[in-house]
Amino acid sequence: MNEPVPQAQGGRAAARLPRISLFWRTFLMLALLIGASLGVTLGIVRALERATPEQRLAWEIASVVNLTRSALVSADPGRRMDLLGQLAREEDVRVLPKEPDDRVDLAATGPRLRALQPRLRQLLGAGTLVAGRVNDTDALWVSFAIDGDDYWMILPRSRAERQFGPSLGVLGLIAAALSLLGALAMSRLVNRPLADLSGAIGALSRGEAPAALPDRGPTEIAGVNRRFNRLARDLAEIERDRSVALAGISHDIRSPLARLRMEIELAELPEAQRTSMADDIGRIDRIVGQFVQYARIAEPPRSENVDVAALLAGAAQAYRGAIEAGELALAIDPGDAQRWFGDPTDLQRALANLIDNALRYGRAAPEGPARVEVQARALGSGIVLEVRDHGPGLPPRDLERLLQPFARADDARGETGGSGLGLAIVDRLARRYGGGLRLLNAPDGGLRALLTLPDDRGRRPQSG
């Protein structure tokens, strides 16, 4: 029901820009810093890297082959078998003769070992062969020649995998993911005190007593929290004093009014004069009651499951006297609004103030009844009440102003002796639930009051 409020031309572009919370701003700055640092680091590593993993592995294998070949050639023929056994035990390197009927499975070699073969041929000779499986045995097989005889050098696959390992890109992604998780944790840690302060301010603005904020941590945050706690205690003390003062004022004013009303009834006065004096006393009593209502809205509501249709029917019953007297023509439609979770007294008070406002000002003709239509409907997790009259409406400049306390309408819709609190009470009641009141002129005449009341579950994020 909240219609967009027109904005100045200069502010429209700014209004379209997305708003980013402080938490996400902190996270994005940390993420950009981490990303830039990782990018520069990986670039430097790649620039300093002089050889690929395949080239380094080829150098290592060529060194092992050349050392083995030299050892076998220079060793005494009777000790070559002992040397081969020692290589197998200590270096996990085996040497076997290459037979013509060896079964070489090139499919098991893989792209990395195939990329290794041309480099080894440059280092060991054009006849060098690299295989991943020979005679159904998985390993790193490299052929070489000694004095015209061909041999296989068999190395474990782990020796090759150790050289390759994960690429720099994979390592960079892992480091970036871990760094971003750390940035999220740091952003939450940095912004948590501000989030707690924002929640406490929201609770205070709704008239609730916020929990005391911790006075530990950074000196700036601790100082702000201590000042806020002191402010909350001072406001609670002021609220208690105001409630006591209002209760005393209401009692002190209404008691003499009751005696005056009794004396007027007993005095020998003309009927017209008695009626006028009684009306003045009733108006004063209503003004005092509105002052007390407005002040007590700050008290926390009692929330329960309210039957909206039954409450609307009770409101119609409360105005039966005005209806039978011909002063009011009231039509109520509960619509699809079945339940509302909140304080039923708040809903009754808001509805009564809106109907009273329409009853006083919503007459199409001074001598006729005030035609008032009340319609309810469900909206998300709350309800919307629309109270429509057929009076003169309001000047556009007064539609927002009349929601302020003690604001009065002009002569076309004014009331002598009113307090100017009726609509302000309704708006303040709605805001304590995160809703609001809007006044709109109907296209065919009259005033529409749209009251939005979200459910009280989970408390309202919007301040009153």
Q: Per-residue pLDDT tens for 165-186?
A: 555 566 677 777 777 787 777 7
Q: How confident is the model at residue 5 (pLDDT cuts 50, 70, 90)?
A: very low
Q: Do domains 53-164 and 302-464 have the same CATH topology?
A: no
Residue 282, token pair as written in the block: 């009733």
Instruction: For residues 120-129, give the mean pLDDT.
Output: 82
Q: How confident is the model at residue 6 (pLDDT cuts 50, 70, 90)?
A: very low
Considering only CA atoms, which of 359, 418, 420, 348 is closest in space to residue 391?
359
252 Cβ contact partners less than 8 Å away, ≥ 6 residues apart = none
Considering only CA atoms, which of 463, 432, 435 is closest in space to residue 449?
435
Question: How far is the C-alpha of 303 from the C-alpha of 464, rounded, in Å?
Answer: 17
What percent of the chain lies above the pLDDT cut of 70? 78
**Whether the Cβ atoms of residue 168 and residue 42 lie closer than 8 Å to each other:** yes
CA dihedral 15, 19, 22, 27 (to 10 degrees): -150
Domains of the chain, by residue range, sit at 19-49+168-203, 53-164, 206-300, 302-464
Task: Write the pLDDT tens digit of every residue in 249-298.
Answer: 666 677 777 778 777 877 777 888 777 787 777 777 766 766 666 666 65
Q: How confident is the model at residue 452 (pLDDT cuts 50, 70, 90)?
A: very high
Question: What is residue 385's predicted lDDT score, i.e. its pLDDT?
Answer: 93
22 pLDDT more than 70: no
Burial of 356 from C-beta contacts in 10 A (0-12 / 13-18 / 19+): middle
Say whether 173 sits in a helix, a strand or coil: helix
- CA angle 66/50/129 to nearest 5° reads 35
Identify the CATH number of the domain defined by range 53-164: 3.30.450.300
Instruction: For residues 300-305, give the mean pLDDT.
Output: 76
Question: How many CA within 13 A on the CB side of residue 145?
Answer: 11
Question: What is residue 411's predicted lDDT score, i.e. its pLDDT?
Answer: 47
Instruction: For residues 140-155, give the mean pLDDT.
Output: 82
> Which of 10-19, 117-126, 257-266 is most confident?
117-126
Identify the CATH number of the domain defined by range 302-464: 3.30.565.10
Task: Write the pLDDT tens digit of every residue in 106-115.
Answer: 777 767 777 7
Task: Write the pLDDT tens digit of every residue in 379-437.
Answer: 888 899 999 998 888 888 888 888 887 676 654 444 444 556 778 888 888 888 888 89
Question: What is residue 318's predicted lDDT score, i.e. its pLDDT?
Answer: 84
Question: What is residue 147's predicted lDDT score, i.e. its pLDDT?
Answer: 75
Among 43-52, 122-131, 366-375, which stretch is predicted with the lowest mean pLDDT?
Answer: 43-52
Question: What is residue 296's predicted lDDT score, i.e. its pLDDT?
Answer: 60
DSSP β-ladder status, 149-155 and 137-146: antiparallel
Give, to the nearest 10 degrees, the angle between helix 22-48 and helix 168-205: 170
Rg, C-alpha atoms of the chain:
44
**Whether the Cβ atoms of residue 449 and residue 458 lie closer than 8 Å to each other:** no
